[in-house]
Amino acid sequence: MEESKKIDLSRPGKKLRLFFEALRLVWKSSPLWAALNTVISILRSIMPLAFIWLIRILTDSIASAVSSGMAHDGGKIMILIILAALLYFTDEVLSELGNYARKKQSDDLEQYMYGLLHSKSVRIDLINFEKTGYFDILTRAVREAPWRPNSILNNMVSVIRALLSLVLMAGLILTFRWTIVIIMLAANIPSIWLRLHFSGVLYHFHRDQTAEARKSAYFNWLLTGDRPSREIRLFGLGEYFINLFNRSFSRQKNDEMRIIRKRTYIEMFSALVRAAAFLVVFRIIASATLSGSVTLGQMAMVLIAFRQGMISLKDLFSATAGLYEDSLFIEDAFEFLGLRENIKAEKPVTAPGPLEKNIVLNNLSFSYPGNHEPAIRNVSFEIGKGEIIAIVGPNGAGKSTLARLLCRLYDPDSGSVEYDGLDIRHFDPDLYRKYFSVVFQDFMLYNLTAGENIRMGNTDENDQEAEIRVAATKAGISDLIEGLPSGYNTMIGNLFEDSRELSWGEWQKLAIARSLFRNAPVMILDEPSSALDADSEYEIFSRLRDMVRGRTAILISHRFTNVTLADRIIVLENGSVAESGTHEELIRSGGIYTRMYLKQTNTPGSGRTS
Ligand code: ATP
């Protein structure tokens, strides 16, 4: 019974708080439909009682008419039949209305919860994306949050409905014999244990399986996604990943089936207990009717009430187990929504403005989570307004990390970045980032129109067609866009209809245009020409000074011929500043920069060490 130990019934206070929080979300997302859904559900729980009562009167009326051999009660019987039909119709109408209200309410809630998830996801500190545990939390939240609060409401309403119906049925049966009520309750004990037990077991199973499920989702993407499709074919990796997917999938499903198999056996046993209860109760009622101590109508009433009572009990236990399961899963959704955001303005908060003086890096150090080696170690330098600074260095030297620290996508472990003399921690990060424009090494491809792809650099203002064209021209992509079937309105990419796919280099030019369109005082270009052809690269770099005129620029590049135009070059090695100076100064000093420059330009003597 390894699994049973895992059931956590502790912290009822916390669970209750989560329940209330979930119900608050349901109410906030759709008050009208939530109220209607609840009222209809409760109304419907009274229907069976009225129906059973009518059946009893009807049966007795028919029996007495038959035994007296007279049809004089025909009118009364007809009224009872019409009443029963009306009741049936009302129940059906309420059922349909309830379905409609439930659907509308769950749609409203789903949209509301996606809103919460999405706004949290875009606000959350970027550093979370470097932690594997984060993706497990995110996966569980996305899986549960859109519908779990609704499940809590529905299960609570079901508990109330089932309880109400059970009390009414038990009341009816008590008019006959109390032992039947006891039998009814006792016969359901195995069921409630079963449901509660397996809710916990399955919850822990799904939680433990999140990482494995992500793994199979990843293999599935490798086999079906657009990006991997070329390598998969070229290297013939299909079978390899199909095997990995199958292994991962079977691992999850086999474990799940083992639990479900066990539950099925116990479920069969509990069904046997309930069938035995039916046998005993039917026997008691039949004997009482044969002995004449109860009327035929009473017999019909008790039999139906017993059957309905069993159904209500089953519903009650299902809903209770559902609530228990909800209490476990809703925690996952709130775990994500409650993740702390550390990258925010610290007091005293100051509003940043366009750069006037400089950006100063003071002794910056930073390590990625789970990586003991710092990516940045005690880095200090200054970037003056209007300067073009190049950052060079071998792979993994920390160049991209430094760019992210500058935009405050991460906070350093120690040291600080000062923007015009103020520690950037005191700025609202969103306001601060408005003064930065970045072409990331892994820039985004938006499946939108060409114009929108550029406009994503600054969505604050509309009607900037002229500026979009200027940015496209500067990035050397205007001719291509104008040649597209609908020019700037042509959909780019391969996801949607009438789209036009671009080459990687063309995408990169679009990304450059996007960053130029942002018109921010500080530009960071992280390997902006890695995919450009020689002509385009030459074009862009020969005009770089023009392009960034009036701005401060930080250029990260492996191509040494491109960085010679910078006012100053910072050489990073192993996360630290190894050298800095102009191209000429660095060449004269004959250090690591000279060595790399000579190797790349294939100049004789490149083999020497400094
Ligand atoms: P490249 O020239 O290859 O782009 P880079 O100089 O830009 O490299 P960074 O990407 O800043 O280097 O990486 C610096 C160091 O941080 C490397 O050692 C890298 O392995 C490590 N690193 C980068 N991203 C992560 C991450 N998400 N988690 C852990 N370590 C990371």
CA dihedral 538, 540, 546, 550 (to 10 degrees): -130
Best CA proximity match to 511, nearest among 463, 563, 471, 465: 471
C-beta 401 within 6 A of ligand 1: yes
Q: Convert the pLDDT of each residue in 348-406 to its tens digit.
A: 999 999 999 999 999 999 999 888 899 999 999 999 999 999 999 888 999 999 999 99
Residue nearest to atom 14 of ligand 1 (CA): 398
Q: What's the rounded Cα separation, in Å, for the pair 326 and 22?
A: 10
- pLDDT for the residue 11: 60
Evaluate if residue 325 carries a pLDDT over 70.
Answer: yes
Amino acid at 438: V
User: By mean pLDDT, which of 40-49, 260-269, 596-605 is the weakest?
Assistant: 596-605
Q: Convert the pLDDT of each residue in 518-566 to its tens digit.
A: 989 999 999 877 767 777 777 777 777 777 778 999 999 887 777 888 8
Question: Which atom from ligand 1 is nearest to the alpha carbon of 527?
Answer: 4
Calculate how far, in angstroms, residue 68's C-alpha sits from the geometric centre of ligand 1: 96
602 versus 339: the higher-pLDDT residue is 339
Full DSSP string of 507-550: HHHHHHHHHHHH--SEEEEESTTTT--HHHHHHHHHTHHHHTTT
C-beta 134 within 6 A of ligand 1: no
For residue 563, the Cα-to-chain-centroid distance in whole angstroms is: 41
C-beta 368 within 6 A of ligand 1: yes
- According to DSSP H, which parts of 291-422 are helical? 296-337, 399-406
C-beta 581 within 6 A of ligand 1: no
Cβ atoms of residues 320 and 142 within 8 Å:
no
User: 543 CB contacts (<8 Å, ≥6 apart)?
Assistant: 474
43 half-sphere exposure, CB direction, 13 A CA radius: 15
- pLDDT for the residue 374: 94
- pLDDT for the residue 72: 59
Residue nearest to atom 16 of ligand 1 (CA): 375
Q: Convert the pLDDT of each residue in 555-606 to its tens digit.
A: 998 877 778 888 999 999 999 999 999 999 999 988 888 988 888 776 554 4
Tokens of 455: 């406009």
User: How far is the CA of 141 from the CAs of 34, 56, 77, 110, 261, in angstroms?
Assistant: 22, 50, 57, 13, 28
Best CA proximity match to 503, nearest among 532, 525, 474: 532
CA dihedral 26, 32, 34, 38 (to 10 degrees): 150
For residue 21, the Cα-to-chain-centroid distance in whole angstroms is: 18
Token pair 């600080």 is found at 416
Identify which of 372, 401, 438 to mutate to test ligand 1's pocket (most ligand atoms within 8 A of the CB): 401
Average pLDDT over residues 107-117: 90
Average pLDDT over residues 72-101: 87
Best CA proximity match to 302, nearest among 318, 287, 319, 317: 287
C-beta 374 within 6 A of ligand 1: no
Q: What's the rounded Cα separation, in Å, for the pair 609 and 592?
A: 8
